[in-house]
Amino acid sequence: MTHASNPFGQVLVALVTPMTADGEVDWPAVEKHIDDVITAGADGIVVTGTTGETSTLTDAEKIRLVEVGKDVAAGRAKIITGGGSNETAHAIELYKASEKAGADAIMIVTPYYNKPTQAGILTHFRLVADATDLPVILYDIPGRTGVPIKYETILRLAKHPNILAIKDAKGDFSEVSRVLNQTGLMYFSGDDANVLPHLSIGATGLIGVTANIAAAPYRVIVDAVNRGDLAAATAAHKQLEPLVRAVMTHVPGTVSAKYILHGLGRITSPRVRLPLVGPEEWEAAMIEDELALVKGVPGADFSNFRPDRNAAAGGALPKVSGTTR
C-alpha cells in the first residue's frame, strides 16, 4: 500500500554489483545497470546489500557505490545503503560514511554469526539508528543471520523515531499482519516469490533480486495493488513466477542474477567474489530450463539469451585496497 511519508520508494532493487572478469567492481557497468533498473520502473536502489555481495566488498567500494548510485539516480530513485556489519561500532562507522556520501536511507541487517540475544539485537539497532539522521529499514533474514528479530523486539524498535520500516525475509505472514496492526512500520517484502501476498495484506513494497532483471513487472504489480486491481497484479505475478524460480531456487540469487544479466548482454561479466562461485554446468542448465518458460514478461526477452558457462564457472578474489573488515 502507499504510505504518506514513504522515504524509500516501493519498487526497490536489491542491486547486484557488476564486476570485471578478474573480480574488480566494474564501475561503468554499475552506472549502466542502475540507470537500466530505474528506467524500467524502480524507485529505490539498495546498494551493498546481500545481493550486492556486501560481505566481500571493501568499505571504500561500499561508499563509492552510494556515491555512484546517487549520481546516476539524479533524483529519480532513492539510494539506500545495506549491509552494515556484525560489529556495532563498524556498522555505525559505515552508515555515517554512507550518509555523508549522500545515501537517502539505510538498511540494517541483524548482526550475523555472533547470534546475539534479543537484547543485543535491540541495542545494536538502536545505537545504529541513533547515529544517523537517515530513515532506517530493519532487515530480518534469520536464514542468513542465524537469529530472527522477534515480534516483541520489533514492537520496541518501532518506537525509535528513525526506524520506519522492515524488510521481511521470514515469510511469517501472521507476524506481518500483527506488526502492521500494532505499529506504524512500513513492510517491504524480502522474498521475491511472496511479493504479491505481502502487498495484499498491507506491505508497502518490495526489495527484490529478480527486479535486477525485470523491474517493470514489479512496477505493474505495485501500481495495480495501489489502485485496487488485484486481477492485474495477479496476472503479472503469474507471468513472473518462472523467472523468480530461475533466479531464486537453484543457486544464490546474486549468482543467478549475474549469470542471467550477462547472458542478456546487460553486464560485461557474470563474476562473483569467492566464496561465491558461478553456477556449475547442471545448475546453469536448470536455470536455463526455467528461463525457457518465461513468456510475456516486460523487459525479459530471452530470445537472444547467450549464456557463457565458462565465464561463470569460477569465483574471483578482489585486489584488496582499503579496509575489508
Does residue 274 form part of some domain?
no
Lookup: cell for 34: 542502475
Does residue 311 form part of some domain?
no
- Identify the pLDDT of residue 321: 46
pTM of structure? 0.94
- Identify the pLDDT of residue 213: 98
- Identify the pLDDT of residue 4: 56
Does residue 6 form part of some domain?
no
Per-residue pLDDT for the chain (325 aa), expressed as one digit of tens each?
Answer: 445 589 999 999 999 999 999 999 999 999 999 999 999 999 999 999 999 999 999 999 999 999 999 999 999 999 999 988 999 999 999 999 999 999 999 999 999 999 999 999 999 999 999 999 999 999 999 988 999 999 999 999 999 999 999 998 888 899 999 999 999 999 999 999 999 999 999 999 999 999 999 999 999 999 999 999 999 999 999 999 999 999 999 999 999 999 999 999 999 999 999 999 999 999 999 999 999 999 999 888 998 898 877 765 555 666 554 444 4
CATH number of the domain encompassing residue 210? 3.20.20.70
Catalytic residue among 78, 167, 187, 258: 167
Report the domain count for the chain: 1
Q: Is 48 annotated as a binding residue?
A: no
- Identify the pLDDT of residue 205: 98
Does residue 50 form part of some domain?
yes
d(CA 52, CA 15): 6
Find the Cα–Cα–Cα–Cα dihedral 140, 145, 150, 151, rounded to 10°: 10
Burial of 74 (0-12, 13-18, 19+ CB in 10 A): exposed
Residue 203's domain spans which residues? 11-229
- Identify the pLDDT of residue 304: 86
Does residue 213 form part of some domain?
yes
Does residue 190 form part of some domain?
yes
- Identify the pLDDT of residue 1: 47
- Identify the pLDDT of residue 308: 79
First to last CA, the chain: 38
- Identify the pLDDT of residue 23: 94
Catalytic residue among 139, 187, 218, 259: 139
Q: Is 221 annotated as a binding residue?
A: no
Report yes or no: 262 and 306 within 8 Å, Cβ to Cβ. no
Catalogue the long-range contacts made by 149-155 (C-beta closer than 8 Å, 24 or more residues apart): 149/110, 149/118, 149/121, 150/118, 151/175, 151/178, 151/179, 152/118, 153/118, 153/121, 153/122, 154/179, 154/183, 154/185, 155/179, 155/182, 155/183
Nearest by Cα to 196 from 223, 174, 178: 223
Q: Is 167 a catalytic residue?
A: yes
Does residue 93 form part of some domain?
yes
Does residue 253 form part of some domain?
no
- Identify the pLDDT of residue 318: 60
128: DSSP letter: H
